[in-house]
Chains A and B, each alone.
Chain A
Amino acid sequence: DAGVTQSPTHLIKTRGQQVTLRCSPKSGHDTVSWYQQALGQGPQFIFQYYEEEERQRGNFPDRFSGHQFPNYSSELNVNALLLGDSALYLCASSRPGTSQLDTQYFGPGTRLTVL
């Protein structure tokens, strides 16, 4: 059973460009959350997708957008890249239960470098 997968593993872009990162959730999971982790810091919540809609959002500008597909996979798009967008982008999937809290599984991340 594959866990959360992300692609690509590494990416180098220049300022002003746009980037798309991809995530496939763990089998049986329908909720996908995205996080940005700067070097030496904890992950910062970007947004969460469920039933193809953005359900919650952190303090990130509109340059950060996402999408969830019918098969529950998700994309994170970042427009007009800034040097400060350089980070590890983590995807996590979960299947929230009703009476029991499910654990959230993280993928290995995509390392984005903006030059």
Chain B
Amino acid sequence: GESVGLHLPTLSVQEGDNSIINCAYSNSASDYFIWYKQESGKGPQFIIDIRSNMDKRQGQRVTVLLNKTVKHLSLQIAATQPGDSAVYFCAENIGGKTSYDKVIFGPGTSLSVIP
């Protein structure tokens, strides 16, 4: 079936280092991918998105890379800060006329920043 999965369930990085969170997806028809950050007790928060016709997109301290050939998505966080500690989810939108008709989430990666 359709699924989005992450290679690493947990990741610990030193404050100031760069973080890379990876994600594999299985639906080659997905045209839109999203990274979310979820802090304890809160709902997921949008970080950055990318459409399938792009292979890279940059935001503030974050970069998303998309490799459609191997169905791989990654989130890079530059100069990781303690406030970046959270669970990160990749998600893909499947089908529909709009960008959010059916969003499939991966299982998540827990990022811990060591001060």
Contact = CB atoms under 8 A, between A and B. Distances in A.
A106 B45 contact: yes
Nearest to A104: B100
Interface stretch (B14-22, B70-78, B101-109): B101-109
Interface in B91-107: 91, 96-107
A96 B84 CA distance: 28
Contacts of B45: 106
B25 interface: no
A107 B32 CA distance: 22
Given A41-B107, A103-B49, A48 B102 contact: yes
Interface centre among A4, A43, A58 (most CB of B within 10 A): A43
A68 interface: no
Interface size class of A (residues with CB under 8 A): 20 to 34
Interface string B15-59: 000000000000000001010100001111110010100000000
Contacts of B99: 94, 96-97, 101-102, 104
Contact of B32 (A56, A58, A101): A101
Interface residues of B, number: 27
Given A31-B100, A45-B105, 18 more contacts: A33-B103, A42-B108, A43-B44, A43-B89, A56-B96, A90-B43, A92-B43, A96-B97, A96-B100, A101-B49, A101-B99, A103-B46, A104-B99, A105-B46, A106-B36, A106-B45, A108-B42, A109-B42
Interface of A: 4, 31, 33, 35, 40-45, 48, 55-56, 58, 90, 92, 94, 96-97, 101-109
